[in-house]
Amino acid sequence: MRIQCAAGGNSLQPGLLVVLFSLLLSEAGIADRRCLFVSSYHQGYAWSDGVERGLRRTLEGQCVIRQFDMDTKRSKAEKDKTGAADRARQIIREWQPDIVITADDNAAKYLIEPYFKNHALPFVFCGVNWTVKEYGFPYSNVTGMIEVAPVAAMIDEARALVPGARRVLYLGANTATEHKNARRIRKSAEDRGLSFEQRLASGQEEWIDSYADGQAYDFVVVGSTAGIDNWDTNRAVEAIRPITRKLTLTSHEWMMPVAMLGMTKVPEEQGEWAAKVALLILEGAPPDSIPIIANRKWDLFLNEALLNQAGITLPSHLTGKGKVFN
Amino acid sequence: MIDADAMISSRRTTAILLGMLVALCALGFAIRNDVLLAEQRFDTTSADAASTLTRQFDDLNATLRSLSNTHYATNNLSQQELSAYAQGFERSHPYIDGILQVQRVNAAQRESYESQFREGGYPTYAIRDSQPDGRLTIAPYRPEHMVLKFIEPLEPGLARFLGLDFYSQDALRQGIGQAIRTGDIAAAPAGFLRPGTFLLLVPVYKGFFVPDNIEDRQTQAYGAYALLVNSRRFLAGIRRNHPRLSVTISAFDGQRQQVMAGLTPSRTPGSLDRVLPTLRGAHDIRLAHAKFVFSFEKDQDGSIFHPLKWLALTAMLMATYAALVTVVLTRLRAREQALEAKEQLFQEKERAQVTLQSIGEAVITTDPTGVVDFMNPMAEHLTGWRAEAAHGRHLNEIFSLVSESDGRALPDPIARALRDHDESEAAAIMLRSDGATIAVIENAAAIRDSDGHFTGAALIVRDVSRERSLLREMAFQASHDPLTRLINRRQFERELAMVIEDALNSNNQHALMYIDLDQFKAINDSSGHMAGDQLLKQVAGHLGENIRRLDRLARLGGDEFGVLLRDCTLDRALEVAESLRHEIKDVRLHWEDKTFRVSLSIGVVSINKDSGNLDEVLRAADAACYVAKDQGRNRVHCYQPDDDLLAQRSTDMQWLQRLRDSIDQNRLVLHGQSIFPLGNSHLRHPVMCELLVRMLDDDGRTVPPMTFIPAAERFNLMFDLDLWVIGEAFRRLARLWKTHPADPRIFTINLSGQSLDHPDLETSIQALQDKQEIQPHKICFEITETSVIANMDRALAMMDLLRRRGFLFALDDFGTGLSSFAYLKKLPVDFLKIDGEFVRDILDDPVDKAMVDTIRRIGGVLGMTTIAESIEDEETCKLLTAMGIDYGQGYFLGKPGAGRLDPTESNVVALPRQS
């Protein structure tokens, strides 16, 4: 592309000028729209990374994205969480975003609920587990996507694979999210006449011990270990491989190293939906005109190594469908 | 030619009109063709668009069938499965915005159904109705709901419709009900969920197959799968390929037709939009029992027209037409020109024939040998031969030509024309075969064919005998006097010059006579010019009869004749002159009831080598004649160089010069002679005074009038002399009346015959009158009886004009003209002056007395005052007084003198002795 000076005898192509001008306006429009992404956790956490990935993929080029990680998975103290919320609030005050997108429960709990209920600033949340009732949503300025796991499908599949199963153990980290998840699975299991128990570990060794205890149950639902400090997946794998005998299932992809069958949520779906809703709101749609919905996608993974270790053979509709986790 | 031009113009007009009609037809055809092409294009476009839409509908149908089949093949499609099913649709089916699963929920199931959703992550989920204003409200309990369960891919803008009861829309409920009953595809109205979209749905049933009968289908209906179709993208291909096509997609359920989607291209209406009809078309397809109608519209504008094509087509047709017309017109014109040429040739031939028949020239054509093959009527007339008779004869048999000058035979004109290779014209005399001769001019020309070969000759002969006669007549008139038919002065002088030349060169003697007819003027004046002419002819005849043939008699002008006597001595010439005088003296001219006698005054001069030139000889003869006339007329006088009488003639000439000088140098004076009233006339009449002119010689002495008046008359100076008298008289009288305005005298002024004839007389008198303050009623012009009678009309006009300016008139020398009484009634004169001839001898001659008395009485009857002239004694005066004459004039009463004009008592008052 060559732009020549009109005084030199040639003129700038009018069409080119229009395009350039349009681009400038577009950039200006993008620059004017500020999207603040507040993650409850931290980068490096698989779920959060997936959400961020989906969000950025959708928002890229549509607004200026600024991200603030509350890091409440690793800093679990109450003061850390409120402190993180304050910093997020400070950023909102200073940066004046047009919209705030939050991921996962702590942002909803520590930022939206106490400070921005029915506020003029629109919020789109995602990754809030199972229900928003405890945060009082929906607000007039808040909408988003609830994170649900295919718990019913998972329980149903487990019952199908383990005929006559009666007891189920839920194994996860001792975090608010896992407590919430445990409640959901409990309900689903108990709705199906199963006996439900949960072990929410605060450390990896505790989790390994709990896993070993789970071999006494008919199947084990593996929750997230996010929140367990110094979690070492390899260590966990090494520890469970010899003892694994019972069917283990999970709804978190990142927990597949320690589970045989994964019916996993797709974190990108959360990020993408939040981003799409945010764009619609930025286009003028009132937040409360967009209903709060749940995620609809999940994926199927098989950990053949563990299955083989346990001597469990899956039916063909699973082996043919399930992705092989390596 | 005018008709031909009019015909050509008419054809041209017709051709142009026809051409315009052809052009209009061509234009109409081109326009109609464009319209038809536009319609064809529209049909093609519609068909193509319909084909595209049909293909896309087939695709939608196939997709729906695929969904329903998948539904039957699985345990219903879960949201997860539906999401999986929809993935990638935006690429494979860009016009499908989403796949919908709709589930029939009855009232009993509703609560658990809604709860399931609310527990599953849709906290606000409820079955809702769509309100006309777009709001979604909680649906009331109905026996059945057809609830939108899933949408994939789910977009935030569509999420609010999750839970929408399709049965809240009557039209949709009926459509879905119909679809459930038939198992076929149904359509939802355009914009049901979202503007710019329409829905196509297919019902699904419980079990693995579509129930066979309606009852089962109604009982076993699970719900439906629907495709949310984006109208804009659905019609994008049509918009791209047919940007100006309007498309409407409607669904027809057997009773109603509802619009599903539409595409109306935006454009600026053209000026022809209102004129050109909108093209419309429709296609329909059936998907099982469902019928979909595609309606197409296209507004036409000027772009369907191709003026260049029209122009090209019209130009091509016009060019073809023009070529055709040109060919036809050219052929017609050529045929007409051939006919015209033929007609022209015929007319030319006719014209030539008529011309030849009617021209005044004789036209004869011959072959190269001179044998006649044609003669026109004039040639027949001229030669005396009928054309038929002359045909085939040689020209020489018809006539011959001889020279006009010497009578010699002329060459054969045909041979001459062939020889000279050119036309030649010659004057000749035609000798006809019957012996008659005719003066002709012949012109012969060779006739050649296109190769230049002689094919004959044409001889044109013109009868010039009349021209010749006229020429002769003209020549005669140029040299002869038309009255007497004698040679005129010019011819006479020409011949005289030749004789003089002869005398100079040969010592031969010849003689010249100059003859003047005495008293001719009186006869002419009294009896008229016809009488004078008759006299001249008689005299000429007598003179001609009494001279030799070799002599030459000529009329030199007026009453003068000349005789040239060739080879004649002077003595012999005098004898001839005397014999002529005697002969004429005895001639009596009878004119009407009068008889005149004439005499000749003849001057004779010898012509010899000493006679001088022509002028000298003529002057000598004239002088001799004058002398003869002066000596009393009726005599012959021979010119001698030392002749005394001729010296007198020379004196006249000298007087003439002196008179001219006197007029120029004002050496003339006015005298007056009183005219007194006689008897008691003074009581009625004032004294009159006749003004008389006198010349002063170099010594200041008065010269008597008879010394210079004849010279003035002879040399036509009388008008000048009279004008001088009038001017001087007006000047003198104006001065007199200025000092003596009461002077009662009437002054008379003589006007000569020459003045009376002069055309400027009246204007000159008027000019002189205007210069002086005079009393015209005291001025009387005297005119002689003879001069008035000579030109009566002229005299009457002059008198009338001057009388109107106040002047008086007197008739002078009355009684000498013999028949003057006849004119007195016409003449507006105031005074009659009785000629002195009657007065002088009145005492002794009773005839004179009777004449005077008669004149007095006639004058009295006519109211004229009489004046007696030449009263030289008392007895005469008394007699005249006794006779009642009003005035008297003469030496007895008073001689003329310079002082008579003065206003003295003796001049002004009447004579006391007459009382």
Beta strands B887-888; B668-677: pairing state = antiparallel
B119, B127, B194: best mutation site toward chain A, by most A Cβ within 10 Å? B119
B162–A293 C-beta distance less than 8 A: yes
Residue-wise pLDDT tens digits, B847-884: 889 889 988 998 888 889 999 999 989 999 999 999 99
**Interface confidence: ipTM more than 0.90:** no
Residue-wise pLDDT tens digits, B535-589: 888 889 989 988 998 999 999 888 889 999 999 999 999 999 999 998 888 777 7
User: Above 60 in pLDDT, residue B2?
Assistant: no
A291–B124 C-beta distance less than 8 A: yes
The CA distance from A138 to the nearest CA of chain B, in Å, is 8
- Chain B environment of A276 (Cβ under 8 Å): 155-156
B80, B116, B118, B194: best mutation site toward chain A, by most A Cβ within 10 Å? B80
Q: What is the predicted pLDDT for the residue at B477? A: 81
B83, B87, B101, B164: best mutation site toward chain A, by most A Cβ within 10 Å? B83
**Lowest-pLDDT range, A171-185, B119-133, B314-328?**
B314-328
A291–B121 C-beta distance less than 8 A: no
Cβ burial, residue B469 (10 Å; 0-12/13-18/19+) = exposed
- Chain A environment of B157 (Cβ under 8 Å): 280, 285, 290
Chain B CA closest to residue A289: B160
User: Above 70 in pLDDT, residue B258?
Assistant: yes
Nearest to B468 by CA among B441, B444, B434, B442: B441
Residue-wise pLDDT tens digits, B797-819: 899 999 999 999 999 888 765 55
Indicate the SS3 state at residue B597. strand
Residue-wise pLDDT tens digits, B494-519: 999 999 999 998 888 999 999 988 87
Chain A CA closest to residue B87: A297
- Chain A environment of B155 (Cβ under 8 Å): 276
The CA distance from B285 to the nearest CA of chain A, in Å, is 37
B123–A137 C-beta distance less than 8 A: yes
Beta strands A293-294; A247-250: pairing state = unpaired
SS (H, E, C) chain A: CCCCCHHHCCCCCHHHHHHHHHHHHHHHHHHHCEEEEEECCCCCCHHHHHHHHHHHHHHCCCCEEEEEECCCCCCCCHHHHHHHHHHHHHHHHHHCCCEEEEECHHHHHHHHHHHCCCCCCCEEEEEEECCCHHHCCCCCCEEEEEECCCHHHHHHHHHHHCCCCCEEEEEEECCHHHHHHHHHHHHHHHHCCCEEEEEEECCHHHHHHHHHHHCCCCEEEECCCCCCCCCCHHHHHHHHCCCCCCEEEECCHHHHHHCCEEEEECHHHHHHHHHHHHHHHHCCCCHHHCCCEECCCEEEEECHHHHHHHCCCCCHHHHCCCEECC
Q: How confident is the model at residue A218 (pLDDT cuts 50, 70, 90)?
A: very high
A132–B123 C-beta distance less than 8 A: yes
Residue-wise pLDDT tens digits, B592-609: 777 777 889 999 999 998
- Chain A environment of B137 (Cβ under 8 Å): none
- Chain B environment of A293 (Cβ under 8 Å): 121-122, 154, 159, 162
User: Above 70 in pLDDT, residue B649?
Assistant: no
B154–A293 C-beta distance less than 8 A: yes
Interface list for chain A against chain B, based on CB atoms closer than 8 Å:
130-133, 137-138, 145-148, 150, 153, 273, 276-277, 280, 285, 289-298
A280–B156 C-beta distance less than 8 A: yes
Percent of chain B with pLDDT over 70: 95
| Residue reference for tokens 């001639």 | B587
B138, B160, B162, B164: best mutation site toward chain A, by most A Cβ within 10 Å? B160
pTM score of the predicted model: 0.51
In the DSSP assignment, the letter for residue B700 is S
Q: At what angle do helices B570-585 and B529-545 cross, to 10 degrees?
A: 130
Residue-wise pLDDT tens digits, B459-498: 888 888 888 887 778 788 888 888 898 999 889 999 999 9
Chain A CA closest to residue B85: A297
In this structure, the number of other CB atoms found within 10 A of the CB of residue A251 comes to 26
User: Above 80 in pLDDT, residue B422?
Assistant: no
- Chain B environment of A296 (Cβ under 8 Å): 79-80, 83, 150, 152, 154
